[in-house]
Structure 1
Amino acid sequence: MKFINFTIVKFSFLLVLGILAAHFFPIDNFLLDYLLILLLGVFCLWLWARKQLIQNVYFGIAAYFCFFAIGYFTYQIRLPQIQPKHYSKQVAEDTPELFQLKITRSLKPDSFNLKYFAEVNAVNGASTDGKILLNISKDALGKQLSADEILLVYAPISEIAKPLNPHQFDYSAYMKSLGIYDQLQISEKNILKTARGSKTFMGMAQNLRADIIEKLQKTKLKTDERAIIQALVLGEKKDIDKNLYNEYAAAGAVHILAVSGLHVGILYIILAFVLKPLTRWKNGVFFHVILIVILLWGFALLSGLSPSVTRAVTMFSFFAVAKLFNRESNSINTLFLSFFTLLIINPFWLFQVGFQLSYLAVFFIVWLQPLFYKIGYSKYWIVRKIWAIVSVTICAQIGVLPLSLYYFHQFPGLFLLTNIVVLPFLTILMCGGILIVFLASLNSLPNWLAESYNFLIESLNAFIHWVAVQDEFLFRDIHFSTLKVLGVYLFIVALILFLKKMNYRRLVGSLLAISVLISIYIYDEFRTATNQLIIFQKSRQTLVGYQNSSQFIVLKSDSTINSSEAHPIKSFKVAMNTKFYSEERLPRLFRYNNKNILILDSLGIFPKHKNINTLLLTNSTKVNLDRLIDSLRPKQIIADGSNYYSYVNRWEKTCKLKKLPFHHTAKQGAFPIE
C-alpha cells in the first residue's frame, strides 16, 4: 500500500489508536498527571534521538508513542471529570440549581419542546465550562431564542436518557460525541431572565443564517423547495419534510442534503472562476488564494461547521496554500493532514457518523478513481464526463457501503442512476441557490427567478420520488455487525491491492481476507442464534418478545397493530438477524425456562396458581397488590409501559415493603427474563 509510506498517514493511525484507547479505557486525573510526565520524557528522548546522525529503533518507537499519547491526551482532557471548571463538579442531579446559559445553536424542535445547545457559563454564581442540551416547552417563550442570548434559569439538571430497549438508537451516546452529557428541561417558570450576550463568530453566523431563512420565507419559494435550498446552501436541514428526506435516503441521494465535500468542491470551482481576474494583477495569485480560503471558511461557518464541511474546507485550504507556494500536493497526504488536524482540534469528531463517512468516501475516491477512470476511458467527451461521474460514485459507494449498512441497514440499488442525474443537476442548483440566497438577503429576489428555481427543485424531487418508490431496488433491514464492517473493509482493501498488482503474496492476502470474512459471518450466525425472552418498553402497549435461534415471536396485547415495522421491534429484528417473524396474542399465563410467568391486564383476573416466578402488571390493572403477593408469592414483579405512573409508584412502594424485586420498564428499560 503506497500511501502507507507517507509519514502523516502513520501518525494519523497512531493518533486514532490513542483516541480509541482513551475512549474505551479512560483514566482518572491522578494517573493522567503521571502519564503526562512520561510523555514529556518520551518527547525529550525523541528530540535527542532525531539529532543523531544514524537513527535507531528507539527513535521510531518514541515518535510513534508520542503521537499515540497525543491522541490519548487530546481526548482525555476533554472529558468532564478531567476539566477542573466543568459544571458537573458544581451540581447534583435532580437538584434545582441557578444556571447562567449562553445559546450556541438552535436544533430541530420536537412536538413539545424547542431545543438548543447552550454553554453553561455559571452555576450558582461560580464560573463554569461545558455544553448542555436545553429543552424549553413551546409555550414558555413567545419567540425562539437566537445564538449568543443569555438565560438565567433555575431548574434541576438531568442525564440524557439512555435507550430503554436493546439495539435502539443511543441518543445519549450521540450527544456525548458532541461533548454534551446532560440536559435541562425547563418551562416559563424556570426562566428568570434573558439578555443579549457578547457576540461570537459562530453566533453571528447562526443569526445571519436565521435572518436569511426568514427572508427566504417571504419569497415565492415553496415550502419543500425552500427547505432544499436551505440545506444545499445554508446547511439547515431541520425544515425538510420527513417523508421527503426518507425519499432522498431511499434513492441514495441523501448526501446532497448535507453540506459536504461535494458542495465545497463545487463552491471552490465557482469561486476560482469568479475571482480568476485577480490573478492578472501583481501578487494577484496570493490574494486569489487567500480570498478563496476566507470565503470557503465563511461558507463553512454559515453552514454550521459540520464535520463533513469542516473536513472539506480544511482539505481545500491545504490544496490552495500548497498551490500558492508552488508545492506539489499529494491528495492522500492532504487528506490525512486535514484528518490529523481536525482530530487534534476535536477528537470527538472521530465518533460522528458524518465525519467517518466523509473521510472514507474521499479516501476511496482519491485511491481508486484513477484506476476506474482508466478502465472506462473513451475518446468521446460526453462519455468521459459520464464515466467520471459513474467512477466517482462507485468509488465513494465502495468506501462507505459497509459503514452505511452498519448504521442505516439499507442499500439503495439505484444509487448509480440517481447520482448520474443528480450530480450535474447539483452544480446548477448550487449556482442558482447561491444567487437566490444573495438576492433574498438583499430583499431583491425577482419572482421569475424564484419560480424558475421552484420548477428545478420540483423536477428533482419528482425524479427522487420516482426512484424511491421502486421498492424492489431498495434493500432494507440488512443485519450488519461491527465485525462484519471490519471484515468487509479488510476484504475490499486486500482485493483492490490484488487487482492493482497481481502477485502470489497479494493473492494469499486476498484469500486470507476471504477466510476471515467467512469466519465472521459464521460466528455472527452463532452469536445471534440465541434463546431469550424480553419484556419491551412501549408506551401504552404490552410487548413481549421471544427469540428462538433465528425465529422471533412477539406476544402482544393489541392484535390490531402491526409491530414488525414499529419501534422497538424493527431495530431488534435487524440487530438479531431475524429470519422468521410472527405475532401472537399475549396469553395470561405461560411458561419459559421452567418458570411460570403471569400477566395481569386491566381486569385483574388471575388463576389460583401457587408457583409464579414472574408477575407482569399491564394496563393499570385493578388489583390489590399486597393481597396478590401474599396469595401467589411471586419471585419478581414487572410493570411495563402500559401502566399509569401513579399506579406504578404505588406498586413500587408495596414491593419495597415486601422486599420483593420490582422493575418498571419506563424507568429502567426492557427486562430480559433468564
Structure 2
Amino acid sequence: MKFINFTVVKFSVLLVLGILTAYFLPITTFLLNYLLLLLLGVYGLWLWARKQLIQNIYFGVATYLCFFAIGYFSYQMRMPQFQPNHYTRITSENTPTLLQLKIAQTLKPDKYNLKYFTTVNAINGVPTNGKILLNISKDSLTKFVFPDEMLLVYTPILEISKPLNPHQFDYSSYLKSLGVYNQLRISENDILKTKKGSKTLKGIAQNLRAGIIEKLQNTKLKTDERAIIQALVLGEKKDIDKNLYDEYAAAGAVHILAVSGLHVGILYIILAFLFKPLLRWKYGVFFQAILIVLLLWGFALLSGLSPSVTRAVTMFSFFALAKLFNRESNSINTLFLSFLTLLIINPLWLFQVGFQLSYLAVFFIVWLQPLFYKIGYSKYWVLRKVWAIVSVTICAQIGVFPLSLYYFHQFPGLFLLTNIVVLPFLTVLMCGGILIVVLTSLNSLPDWFAEMYNFLIEGLNGFIHWVATQDEYLFQNIHFSTLKVLGAYLLIVALALFFTKMNYQRLVSSLLAFSVLITIYIYDELSTSTNQLVVFQRSKQTLIGYKSRQHFMVFKNDSTKNISDTYPIKSFITAVNINTYSEEELPKLFRYKDKNILVLDSLGIFPNHQITHTLLLTNSPKINLNRIIDSLKPKQIIADGSNYFTYVKRWEKTCKLKKLPFCHTAKQGAFPIE
C-alpha cells in the first residue's frame, strides 16, 4: 500500500513536525510576531502559486510550510505566556488569592483528597482563563461538588511538585500535557460560595454518567463486576481494585478497561450489522452512516467524553463518512484525516500516551492486517474468524510494542492467548453492558440479568487471574530508551515494506535498519555503564545507591529485605539498565572517587580529625553542627528524608552562616554525589 503518496499523510507529518519543534524549541512573544509575519508571507506565496496554470515547486513548498506553521503556532499559542488572560500572568504563586472556579472534570481521588480539573474564570474580579488542579480535603467535605458548579475560594496558587528522585513519573509534566500548570489545596472552609454555572456538554455528560453509576450501585451487580462494566461502557476506571487492574495489565488485557478504539470499533461493527437492512433502500447508505455517527457520539457522551473515547469516535466517524462516499480503499488516508483534524483542534493530544498508542495500533492494523490475513487464510469459517482475531492482535501489538516498552517497561508474553479469549468475549460483554446501563437508567434492570452478567465477568476475571499468575511469561523491568524506540520502529517499517514487496533495495534497507538498532543497543550499554552514587529521597528512611556499570547496590538503615520492587529503586533500576542488584547495611563511612562521605545517624557520634568531603545527616541526630563543621571541615552537607523538618531548618541556617552548601532531599530531591 503506497500510503506515503496520500497528501493528507504528508500534511499530518508536517503538522507533527511543527508541534514537536514548538515543544522542543519554544520562542518568546517578540520572535513569535516576526514568525507570524513570515507565515503571512508563506500564505501569500501559496495564494499566488495556486493561481498558476501549471503548478511548480513553490506551491508544494508553501503548502507544506503552512501545515508546519499551523502545528507550530497552534501549540505555541496554547502556552500560558502567549495568553494575556491566563491566570499565571495575573497572580503569583503562594499568594492567597480570591479565585472564581468552574468544575470542568472529576478525577480519581487519592487517599486524602478529592481531585478536579477546574477553569479559573476570574482572579480578584479580573476575568481569566486556564485550567488548574483542585484538591479538596476529604476529611473536611460534607457535600460533593459536581461538573459545571461554580466555586468562590480564597487560597494561594501552588506549584505542582516535580519528582524528588531520578527517573520517577513526572506528574507535573503529565498535567502540562493536559494544559494544567498549577494546583490548589483547600478544605471546605476555604470555599466561600457555590452556585450552579452555565451547563456545558462535557459537564452534562459527566453528571449523566455519575447518575448512572449511582443507580448501578443499587443493583445486584457485585463490586468488582460493577467496576468492570463502568470501565467497559462508561469509561470510569476509578472504582477498579488496584490488584485487579494490575492483573489485567500483567495479562496484556488492560486495554479493555479503557474505552478506546477497540470498544468503539466493536460498537461500530454491531451498529453496522443492526442497520444493514437500511442498505436495501435507495438512500439507505446515507441514513446508515448518519445513524452510526450519531449513536457513536451518543456513546461518547454516555462515557463522559473522555479524551480516549472522543479520539476513537472521531476516528470511526471519519471511517463511517468515508464509507458513505465509497472511500473504503483509502483507510489509511481516512485514519490520517482524523489524526490531522484532532491535532489541529488540540495539539497537546500528541503528547498523551493514549493518543499515541491508539493511532499506532489502528495504523498497523489497517496497514499490515490484510497481509497477515492472507498468510493464514483458511477455507474453514471458524479458522478464518480465529485467524482474523489473531492477525489483528499481532498487528496491533507490533504497532505499540516499542512504545509500550518505553512507557511501561514490561511485556505480557501471553497477550495472544489473552486476546483470542477476551476479544470474542468482549463483544458479548459490551452488548450486555450497554443493555444493563440502559435498563438501569430506566430503573427496570431484572435481578436475573444482573446476576447472569456477574457470572460472565467473574469468568473473565478468573481467566485474567490465571494468566496473570503465570509469572514466567511476564517480562518486567525492561530498559527501553527513546533511541531504541526510534530504532525499533525504523526496523519494523523496513521489514514490513520488505515482506510486502521483496526486492534488493528493501532488503538492504532492512539490514541497514537492523544495523542501526544494534548500534543503538551498543550505545545504550556504553552510556549507562558509568559509576554513580546517589542519596535518594524517601520519607523516614535512608537510602544510598551505588551504581557500578550494570550492577546496583543499595545501602539502607533498616532490616527491610529486597526493596528492588519498591519506590524509588524500581524505576531507577529500569531506567539505568541494571542487570544485577544487591543490598547492604548502611556503613558509617564511604569512600567514593577519593572522597570521604561520613554518615551521621541518631547517635551523633563522629570521629575526630577525620577529613570529610560530604557529611550525610540521618535520623535526626542531636548535634552541635557548628562544632562538627569546625572539626571535620566538610565541603558539603546533606540531610535526607529521615530527619525532622525542625532539625533540618536549624541545620540549613547554620550552613548558610558558614557559607557551606546544604541539600535537603525532601525539598531539593535526590542528591548525586560527584
Normalising by the smaller structure, the TM-score range is: over 0.9
Structure 1 residue 58 displacement after superposition: 1.8
C-alpha contact 2:4 2:10 (8 A) present in aligned 1: yes
Distance 2:57 2:279 in 1: 48
Letter in 1 for 2:3: F
Shift in Å at residue 316 of structure 1?
A: 1.6
- CA distance 1:250–1:328, change in 2 (3 Å): closer
Aligned residue number for residue 644 of structure 1: 644
**Structure 1 residue aligned with 2:182:** 182
**Cα deviations across residues 39-74 of structure 1 (Å, max 9, x unaligned)?**
011011011112212222222211111111110001
* 1:44 aligned partner: 44
Corresponding letter in the other structure for 2:497: L
Quick check: 41-50 or 520-529, which moved more?
Answer: 41-50
What is the one-letter code of the residue matched to 2:290? Answer: I
* 1:600 and 2:621 matched: no
C-alpha distance in structure 1 between counterparts of 2:309 and 2:13, whole Å? 22
The answer for the alignment partner of 2:388 in structure 1 is 388
SS at match of 1:663: strand
Cα deviation code 1:379-414 (max 9, x no counterpart)? 000000000000000000000000000000000000
Cα distance change on mapping 1:346 and 1:417 into 2, 3 Å: same
Separation in structure 1 between the aligned mates of residue 343 and residue 593 of structure 2, nearest angstrom? 50
Alignment of 1:89-488 (within 5 A): 89-276=89-276, 283-328=283-328, 330-488=330-488
Q: Write the distance in 1 (CA, Å) between the matches of 2:175 and 2:322.
A: 36
Deviation at 1:328, TM superposition (A): 4.6
Q: 1:31 is paired with a residue of what secondary structure?
A: helix
Shift of the alpha carbon at 1:326? Answer: 4.1
CA distance in structure 2 between the partners assigned to 1:212 and 1:585 by the alignment = 54
Return the alpha-carbon distance in structure 2 between the equivalents of residues 573 and 658 of structure 1.
37
Q: Distance in 1 between matches of 2:285 and 2:372?
A: 33
Separation in 1, partners of 2:533, 2:507 = 46
Q: Which residue number in structure 2 is paired with residue 614 of structure 1?
A: 614
* Residue 14 (structure 2) aligns with: 14
Contact 1:539 1:642 in 2 (8 A): yes
Partner SS for 1:116 = strand
Q: CA deviation at 1:140?
A: 2.2
Residue 206 of structure 1 aligns to which amino acid in structure 2? Q
> 1: CA distance between counterparts of 2:527 and 2:557?
30
Whether the 8 Å contact between 1:613 and 1:636 is mirrored in structure 2 is: yes
* Larger CA deviation: 275-284 vs 533-542: 275-284
Gaps of 5+ in 1: none
* Cα separation, 2, equivalents of 1:448 and 1:534: 59
Match of 1:555 in 2: 555
- Residue type of the partner of 1:640? D
Alpha carbons of structure 1 residues 154 and 540: separation in structure 2 relative to 1, 3 Å: same
Q: CA deviation at 1:549?
A: 0.7
Cα distance 1:269–1:27, how it changes in 2: closer, same or farther (>3 A)? same
Kept in 2: contact 1:319–1:329 (CA 8 A): no
Residues 559 and 584 in structure 1, CA contact (< 8 A), matched pair in contact too: no
- Alignment: residue pair count: 674
Separation in 2, partners of 1:369, 1:328: 15
Q: 1:96 to 1:614 in 2, by over 3 A?
A: same
SS of corresponding position for 2:609:
coil
For each residue in 1:256-310, what CA deviation from the matched residue of structure 2 results, as whole angstroms up to 9, or x when unmatched?
0011111111112222334455556675543432232122112223323334322
Secondary structure at 1:655 match in 2: helix
Match for 1:431: what amino acid? C
CA RMSD after TM alignment: 1.3
Structure 1 residue 657 and structure 2 residue 657: aligned?
A: yes
Tell me the amino acid that sits aligned with residue 192 of structure 1: L
Please identify, of 356-365 and 319-328, the stretch whose mean Cα deviation from structure 2 is larger: 319-328
CA-CA distance at 1:485 after TM superposition: 0.5
Q: Which amino acid aligns with 1:584?
A: E
SS at match of 2:80: coil
CA distance in 1, matches of 2:420, 2:467: 13
Letter in 2 for 1:172: S
Secondary structure of the residue aligned to 1:323 is helix
Aligned position for 1:81: 81
CA contact (8 A) 2:205 2:305 kept: no
CA distance in 1 between counterparts of 2:547 and 2:150 reads: 51
**1:165 counterpart letter in structure 2:** N
- 2:113 is aligned with what amino acid? N
Q: Distance in 1 between matches of 2:275 and 2:609?
A: 85
Structure 1's 548 and 375: CA in aligned 2 closer, same or farther, altered over 3 A? same
Match of 1:66 in 2: 66
Distance 1:2 1:284, change over 3 A: closer
Deviates more, 1:296-305 or 1:565-574: 296-305
1:55 aligns to 2:55 (yes or no): yes
| Deviation string, structure 1 residues 596-619 (Cα, Å, up to 9, x no partner) | 111111111111134111111111
The answer to whether the 8 A contact 1:139-1:188 is kept is no
Q: Deviations over 1:331-371 (max 9, x none)?
A: 10010000000000010110110000000000000000000
- After superposing the two structures, state which structure 1 stretch, 638-647 or 209-218, moved more: 638-647
Note if contact 2:319-2:335 (Cα within 8 Å) is conserved in structure 1. no
Shift of 1:322: 2.6
Confirm whether residue 3 of structure 1 aligns to residue 8 of structure 2.
Answer: no
What SS is found at the alignment partner of 1:81? helix
**Counterpart residue identity of residue 357, structure 1:** L
Q: Is the 8 A contact 1:555 1:583 kept in 2?
A: yes
User: Given the superposition, is the C-alpha separation of residues 327 and 504 from structure 1 closer, same or farther in structure 2, using an over 3 Å criterion?
Assistant: closer
**CA–CA distance in 1 between the matches of 2:611 and 2:55?**
76
Supply the distance in 1 between the matched residues of 2:175 and 2:609 (Cα, whole angstroms): 47
Q: Does the aligned pair in 2 maintain the 1:235–1:259 contact within 8 Å?
A: yes
User: How many angstroms apart in 2 are the aligned matches of 1:562 and 1:540?
Assistant: 17
Query: CA 1:619/1:264 → structure 2, altered by over 3 Å: closer, same or farther?
Result: same
The unaligned stretches of length 5 or more in structure 2 are none
Q: Distance in 1 between matches of 2:84 and 2:295?
A: 37
More displaced 10-residue stretch of structure 1: 266-275 or 180-189: 266-275
Residue 329 (structure 1) shift: 5.2
Letter in 1 for 2:4: I
The SS at the match of 1:140 is coil
Equivalent residue letter for 1:308: S
| Structure-1 residue corresponding to 2:489 | 489
Using the alignment, how far apart are the partners of 2:623 and 2:305 within structure 1?
56
Provide TM-score, normalisation by structure 1: 0.98
The 3-state SS of whatever aligns with 1:133 is strand
**Percent sequence identity over matched residues?**
78
CA distance in 2, matches of 1:328, 1:146: 42
Question: Match of 2:618, as an amino acid?
Answer: T
Cα contact 1:14–1:64 (8 A) shared by 2: yes
SS of equivalent residue, structure 1 residue 20 = helix
Structure 1: how far apart are the matches of 2:195 and 2:359?
40
> Displacement of 1:327 after TM fit?
4.3
- Give the Å deviation of 1:647: 1.3
Is residue 229–residue 433 contact of structure 2 (8 Å, CA) maintained in 1? yes
Cα deviation per residue 1:93-145 (whole Å; 9 max; x = unaligned)?
Answer: 11111111111111111111111110011111100000011111002221321
Alpha-carbon offset, residue 591 of structure 1: 1.1
